[in-house]
């Protein structure tokens, strides 16, 4: 057998996976994936996606997807009759038709816990940057205004602020841990009270807001949490209050929040996510008390690398019939 | 107190200005087009200066204000105040420590996150509408990175505490290693820079720390390293920093301070890996109010003759009678304890760095511990009399290592019994070995039996000198320590 044939045979012995997206984690580690798996890449084909899937993916058991690719029942899942595992490089599952997956008994593995620190530290960074007006200060210096004006408005102290964490999961806990070191007082709202944590629990997010100086949104987007941060909650937070969102844009009623920002009914906002990314409401551009980042919570070298390890680990476990690293239970 | 002249060096805080105006006769230095004219007309009425990080009290200003008693700084840093000059003239100095520690530490972390996670750049990108065009570049995570802190004082420790919550291993450089400290010590800044990824400047600015961040340190920090400066601009060799950033020899920088504020090197404006702030370390509403209250509190305490709230020279004030060899040696030791030193002598001695008091009454009124260390002569007999003791007062301490007859002993005893003097440490008495019995009962008095030079080493040296002088005389050689010269 020739070298090439040998290689080809070796390739063909590798387990097959379908990649959808493709996710950044895949793009940055393409060679590593190729060493371990046979990859089906719909984006390299001229066929429309449903045709590619129905033609080539009949025996596909495992899919690797980004958090943005919509895995629908009619457009995707119906063309993958042998599908048993979906590995998503995101933590969120909103892009997957969970009802259909449940019906078919498809296992889902995500990146939960893998990049909690990256997201949490961005949340803390956004809070400090809003309170201490860092991007606005940076603009002030770069545009030469400091030279001529010399008087920059005062910021607000971080320490001692009451922080309300919405959703005390892995990310919420990392946020709490960090802000405690600044002398902040932590309380939270969650689906269920967690007796093992030392923070004050509020069963109602409005009450949490009324007793906080800043809200940090760290929960998942579900039917219950969609627009959970509404006008009532925002007004309860108050005119010096700050909202930081490192979860999903749709958890906040964006239109209401913008109105409140315009009317000075809330102090400021640090937003890594928006309802209709990448569309940004232009009213936000002029606001100095708002800091905007483009969904970069997990956009670090370390996170991409850590998520690569998790994804490969899950896929390899699946193909050797071992326990998955990060399966989503009870979705 | 409305007649007391207070000079505010530059605009710094409207609330502070307003409160100073209410209580004192406030002069706003920046409102006078000719400073020399202003000083000519008003220098005699100014008893206090309020300064900050931009303008304080340099030697020139201090010399121009002969009635200056106190400089209250609206900052914790003292690099704009000529401290030796203040010590020399007995001018008290206060600053605003502790109230701003947390704000500065918070900002240091905010700068780190803004720099490493490129928050400002991202914010600019989004505002330009570029999100639609594609993904932002990958950044690097802060959590878990090694942090090196230069200066582990109040601010340095507060930064360490916060960085620890981000799982960062902490190391530091300080003038000397701190005992009981769990962080790793490096004896040089270059070594610290070689062994950390994020280097933070948090020490005071002094002659030694000027340009402590130089080319060598920057290169040691390297292309993946980050510099955060919340100290003073002159801590960093700015041109070196700029070229390192442009050439990629340094990963990035978060800067709250610059060598010549408000001038910022324009080359930095084009860089994406730097965050630039207009010296806002303590610039929060809450903290500036607390700082202003401290300034007012210190000034009021001074003029009402109460203890200062946050004095810079925190040791007790020591007054020395007789600045000869012994007096100077005492001064040097007390200085090392942070005590402001003043002295009385027959005439002023040049270049001592200590405040001269032409009258002993003056000296006693202005110190807390009065030390007698002059020679006993007809003039200095009973130099410590009732008037001096009363001037020293119920919180004052008298230390006599001179001669018993320097002190009016019955007066001293009655003052101690009546509580008119705070306490005394006495090595000598008028009629040794007799000691007034009443002193034996007192708890605020320490009595020694004339043991000033009674150490094994010194007694031997003294004996050797006596013998050597005798030998020299009888062998017709020059005396070693003649008191009266050879006639």
- A178/B166 touch (CB, cutoff 8 Å), yes or no: yes
Collect all residues of chain B within an 8 Å Cβ-Cβ radius of residue A180.
165
Residue B129 domain flag: yes
Instruction: Tell me the β-bridge partners of B369.
Output: B318, B397
Residue-wise pLDDT tens digits, B23-64: 999 999 999 999 999 999 999 999 999 999 889 999 999 999
Please name each of the domains of chain A with its CATH number: 3-114+301-324 (3.40.50.720), 116-292 (3.40.50.720)
The 10s digit of each residue's pLDDT in B323-379 is 999 999 999 999 888 888 999 999 999 888 899 999 999 999 989 999 999 999 999
The per-residue pLDDT for A253 is 98
**Residue A237: partners with Cβ closer than 8 Å, 6 or more residues away:** A209, A210, A212, A214, A215, A243, A266
Chain A residues lying within 8 Å of B124, measured CB to CB: 135, 139
- pLDDT at residue B486, rounded to an integer: 54
The C-alpha atoms of residue B320 and residue B324 are separated, in whole angstroms, by: 10
> What does the pLDDT look like over B300-314, one tens digit per residue?
999 998 889 999 987
> Does residue B214 sit in the same domain as residue B87?
no
> How far is the C-alpha of A266 from the C-alpha of A253, rounded, in Å?
14
Quick check: is B153 in a domain?
Answer: yes
pLDDT classification of B137: cutoffs 50, 70, 90: confident
- Nearest chain A residue (CA) to B274: A138
**B73 and B140 together in one domain:** no
> Looking at the structure, do residues B173 and B255 belong to the same domain, yes or no?
yes
Domain end (from B53, B74, B96): B96
Distances (CA, A) of A306 to A91, A313, A331, B108, B341: 13, 10, 23, 27, 62
CB-CB neighbors (< 8 A) of A132 in chain B = 106-107, 110, 280, 283-284
Structural domain includes residue B457: no
Residues B252 and B108 placed together within one structural domain of the fold: yes
| Tens-digit pLDDT string for chain A (331 aa) | 677 777 777 777 899 999 999 999 999 999 999 999 999 999 999 999 999 999 999 999 999 999 889 999 999 999 999 999 999 999 889 899 999 999 999 999 999 889 999 999 999 999 999 999 999 999 999 998 888 877 788 999 999 999 999 999 999 999 999 999 999 999 999 999 999 999 999 999 999 999 999 999 999 988 999 999 999 999 999 999 999 999 999 999 999 999 999 999 999 999 999 999 889 999 999 999 999 999 999 999 999 999 999 999 999 999 999 999 999 998 8
Residue B179 near residue B205 (C-beta atoms within 8 A): no
Strand order across the beta sheet in which B25-28 lies: B25-28, B5-8, B46-51, B70-73, B92-94
The yes-or-no answer on residue B279 being catalytic is yes
pLDDT digits (tens, 9 = 90+) for B11-31: 999 999 999 999 999 999 999
Question: Which structural domain, as residue segments, surrounds residue B361?
Answer: 318-447
Residue B477 is assigned to a structural domain of this protein: no
Comparing CA positions, the residue from A165, A138, A172, A136 lying closest to residue A268 is A136
pLDDT in tens, B235-292: 999 999 999 999 999 999 999 999 999 999 999 999 999 999 999 999 999 999 999 9
Together in a domain, B264 and B337: no
Q: Does the beta-carbon distance from B277 to A141 stay under 8 Å?
A: yes
In a domain, B474, yes or no: no
Does the residue B295 lie in any domain? no
> B122 and B50, same structural domain?
no
Domain co-membership, B131 together with B266: yes
Interface mutation vs chain A, best among B12, B126, B230, most A CBs within 10 Å: B126
CB atoms A122 and B288 under 8 Å: no
Which of B64, B96, B128 terminates a domain? The answer is: B96
B106 contacts A157? CB cut-off 8 A:
yes
Across the interface, do A296 and B136 touch by the CB < 8 Å criterion? yes
- The alpha carbon dihedral of B386, B366, B447, B376 has a sign of negative
How far is residue A219's CA from residue A230's CA, in Å, rounded to a whole number? Answer: 15
Which of B130, B278, B281, B291 to substitute to test the interface with A, most A CBs within 10 Å?
B278
Instruction: Give me the long-range contacts of A39-46 (CB less than 8 A, separation at least 24).
Output: A40/A16, A42/A18
Residue B454 lies in a domain: no
Classify each residue of B133-172 as buried b or exposed e, where b means 16 or more C-beta atoms within 10 Å of its C-beta.
eeebebbbbbbebbbbbbbbbbbbbbbbebbbbbebbbbb
| Beta-carbon separation of B275 and A147 below 8 A | no
- Do B62 and B170 lie in a common domain? no
Nearest by CB to B140, from A124, A142, A301: name it.
Answer: A301
Collect all residues of chain A within an 8 Å Cβ-Cβ radius of residue B114. Answer: 125, 129, 134-135, 138
Instruction: Specify whether B35 is located in the same domain as B142.
Output: no
Percentage of residues of chain B with pLDDT beyond 70: 99
The helix or strand, by DSSP H or E, that contains position A271, with its residue range, turns out to be strand A268-271
Mean pLDDT of chain B: 94
- Asked if B75 and B162 sit in the same domain, the reply is no
- In chain B, the number of structural domains is 3
- Asked if residue B71 and residue B107 are part of one domain, the reply reads no
Q: In chain A, which residues have their Cβ closer than 8 Å to the Cβ of B109?
A: 124, 128, 182
- Mapped onto helix, strand or coil, the DSSP state of residue B386 is helix
Q: Are residues B197 and B261 in the same domain?
A: yes
Q: Is B313 within a domain? A: no
Is B42 tagged catalytic?
A: no
User: Which residue on chain A is closest to B132 by alpha carbon?
Assistant: A278
Chain B CB contacts of A300 below 8 Å: 117, 138-141
Interchain proximity A278–B263, CB inside 8 Å: no
At CB < 8 A and 24+ separation, what contacts does A171-177 make? A171/A116, A171/A119, A171/A120, A171/A123, A171/A218, A171/A246, A171/A247, A172/A120, A172/A216, A172/A218, A172/A219, A173/A116, A173/A197, A174/A116, A174/A117, A174/A119, A174/A120, A174/A121, A175/A120, A175/A123, A175/A124, A175/A216, A175/A218, A177/B165
CATH number of the domain that residue B270 is part of: 3.40.50.720
Q: Which residues of A are catalytic?
A: 248, 277, 295
Across the interface, whether the CB atoms of A155 and B285 are under 8 A apart is answered: yes
pLDDT single digits (tens) B444-483: 999 998 999 889 999 999 999 999 999 999 999 999 999 9
- Among the partner-chain residues B138, B166, B269, the one whose CB lies closest to the CB of A301 is B138
B31 Cβ contact list (under 8 Å, min separation 6):
none
Q: What is the mean pLDDT of residues B174-201?
A: 96
Q: B396 falls in which pLDDT band (50, 70, 90)? A: very high
């Amino acid at each position: 057998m020739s070298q090439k044939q040998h290689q080809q045979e070796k390739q063909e012995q590798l387990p097959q996976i379908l990649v959808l997206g493709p996710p950044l984690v895949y793009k940055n580690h393409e060679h590593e994936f190729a060493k371990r798996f046979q990859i089906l890449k719909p984006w390299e084909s001229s066929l429309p996606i449903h045709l590619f899937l129905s033609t080539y993916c009949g025996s596909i058991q495992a899919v690797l997807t980004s958090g943005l690719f919509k895995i629908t029942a009619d457009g995707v899942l119906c063309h993958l009759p042998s599908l048993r595992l979906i590995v998503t490089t995101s933590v969120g599952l909103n892009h997957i038709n969970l009802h259909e997956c449940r019906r078919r008994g498809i296992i889902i593995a995500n990146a939960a816990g893998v990049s909690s620190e990256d997201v949490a530290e961005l949340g803390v960074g956004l809070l400090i940057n809003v309170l201490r007006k860092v991007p606005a200060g940076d603009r002030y210096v770069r545009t030469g205004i400091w030279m001529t004006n010399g008087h920059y408005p005062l910021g607000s102290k971080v320490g001692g602020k009451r922080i309300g964490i919405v959703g005390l999961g892995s990310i919420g806990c990392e946020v709490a841990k960090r802000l405690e070191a600044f002398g902040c007082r932590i309380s939270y709202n969650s689906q269920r009270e967690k007796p093992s944590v030392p923070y004050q629990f509020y069963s109602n997010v409005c009450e949490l807001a009324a007793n906080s100086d800043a809200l940090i949104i760290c929960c998942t987007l579900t039917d219950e949490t969609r627009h959970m941060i509404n006008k009532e909650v925002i007004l309860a937070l108050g005119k010096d209050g700050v909202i930081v969102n490192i979860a999903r844009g749709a958890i906040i009623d964006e239109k209401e929040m913008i109105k409140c920002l315009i009317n000075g009914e809330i102090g400021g906002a640090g937003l890594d996510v928006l309802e209709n990314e990448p569309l940004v409401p232009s009213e936000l551009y002029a606001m100095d008390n708002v800091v905007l980042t483009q969904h970069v919570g997990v956009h670090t070298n370390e996170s991409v690398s850590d998520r690569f390890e998790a994804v490969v680990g899950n896929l390899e476990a699946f193909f050797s019939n071992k326990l998955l690293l990060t399966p989503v239970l009870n979705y | 107190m409305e007649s007391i002249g207070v000079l505010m060096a530059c605009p710094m805080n409207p609330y502070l200005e307003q409160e100073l105006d209410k209580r004192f006769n406030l002069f706003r230095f920046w409102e006078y087009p000719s400073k020399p004219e202003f000083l000519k007309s008003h220098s005699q009425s100014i008893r206090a200066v309020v300064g900050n990080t931009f303008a304080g009290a340099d030697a020139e200003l201090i010399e121009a204000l002969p009635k200056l008693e106190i400089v209250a700084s609206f900052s914790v840093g003292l690099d704009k105040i000529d401290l030796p000059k203040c010590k020399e003239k007995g001018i008290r100095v206060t600053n605003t420590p502790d109230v701003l520690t947390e704000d500065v530490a918070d900002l240091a972390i905010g700068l780190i996150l803004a720099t490493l996670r490129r928050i400002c750049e991202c914010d600019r990108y989004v505002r330009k509408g570029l999100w639609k065009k594609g993904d932002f570049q990958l950044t690097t995570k802060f959590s878990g990175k090694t942090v090196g802190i230069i200066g582990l004082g109040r601010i340095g420790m507060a930064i360490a505490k916060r960085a620890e919550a981000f799982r960062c291993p902490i190391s530091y450089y300080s003038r000397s290693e701190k005992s009981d400290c769990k962080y790793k010590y490096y004896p040089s800044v270059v070594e610290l820079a070689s062994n950390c990824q994020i280097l933070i400047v948090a020490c005071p600015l002094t002659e030694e720390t000027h340009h402590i961040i130089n080319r060598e340190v920057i290169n040691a920090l390297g292309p993946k390293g980050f510099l955060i400066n919340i100290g003073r601009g002159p801590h960093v060799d700015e041109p070196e920093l700029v070229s390192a950033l442009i050439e990629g020899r340094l990963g990035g920088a978060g800067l709250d301070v610059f060598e010549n504020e408000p001038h910022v090197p324009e080359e930095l404006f084009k860089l994406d890996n730097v965050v630039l702030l207009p010296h806002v370390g303590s610039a929060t509403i809450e903290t500036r109010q607390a700082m202003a209250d401290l300034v007012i509190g210190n000034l009021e305490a001074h003029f009402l003759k109460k203890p200062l709230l946050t004095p810079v020279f925190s040791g007790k004030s020591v007054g020395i009678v007789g600045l000869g060899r012994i007096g100077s040696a005492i001064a040097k030791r007390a200085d090392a304890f942070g005590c402001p030193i003043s002295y009385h002598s027959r005439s002023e001695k040049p270049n001592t760095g200590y405040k001269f008091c032409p009258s002993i009454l003056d000296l006693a009124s202005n110190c807390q511990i009065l030390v007698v260390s002059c020679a006993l002569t007809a003039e200095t007999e009973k130099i410590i009399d009732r008037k001096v003791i009363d001037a020293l007062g119920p919180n004052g301490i008298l230390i006599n290592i001179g001669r018993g007859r320097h002190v009016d002993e019955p007066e001293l005893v009655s003052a101690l019994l009546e509580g008119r003097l705070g306490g005394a440490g006495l090595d000598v008495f008028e009629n040794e070995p007799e000691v007034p019995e009443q002193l034996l009962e007192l708890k605020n008095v320490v009595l020694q039996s004339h043991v000033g030079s009674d150490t094994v080493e010194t007694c031997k040296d003294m004996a050797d000198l006596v013998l050597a002088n005798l030998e020299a005389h009888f062998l017709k050689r020059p005396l070693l320590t003649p008191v009266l010269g050879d006639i």
